[in-house]
Amino acid sequence: MTDSPDRIRVDKWLWQARFFKTRTLAAKQVTSGHVRINGEKTDKAAAKIGPGDTLTFPQGSIIRVVEVVLCGARRGPAPEAQTLYLDKTPPQESVPKSPGFDGKGRPTKKDRRSLDLSRRGPLA
């Protein structure tokens, strides 16, 4: 019972491409119906994918869209895993920074007092 080299289980590919830390986590994501193969929902971890297929799945707080380029033979290092896919995820809008944060570390006590005063508004 050998797989053809151009088709692989979706859960195994997601694990090999390093989108999930364990194959069990990848399988849970697929069986819970959160993965789409070429736009169609799948709930079978054993679904076969191959080069040219497009996968859409949530990872953290973003929705990943990747095109399968290769079916890997092993779970190798990250640079090797990145050759397995083309990332087509749309760029995310950056989260606006806090208006009182200039990127200089923690605010001083004086900075915190001035922030508190500015949040209170004008005194009556």
Alpha carbons 108 and 124: distance in angstroms, whole number: 27
Contact, 112 vs 82, CB < 8 A? no
Residue 123 has pLDDT above 70, yes or no: no
Q: Higher-confidence residue: 1 or 71?
A: 71
Rounded to whole angstroms, how far apart are CA atoms 98 and 123?
Answer: 24
Between 76 and 102, the higher pLDDT residue: 76
19-74: pLDDT as tens digits: 999 999 999 999 999 999 999 999 999 999 999 999 999 988 889 999 999 998 99
For the domain made up of 8-87, the CATH class stated in words is alpha beta
| Rounded Cα–Cα distance for residues 78 and 52 (Å) | 21
pTM (two decimals): 0.72
* Amino acid residing at 68: V
Residue 110 pLDDT > 70:
yes
**Between the CA of residue 64 and those of 33, 47, 69, what are the distances in Å?**
15, 19, 15
C-alpha to C-alpha distance for 33 and 20, rounded to whole angstroms: 16
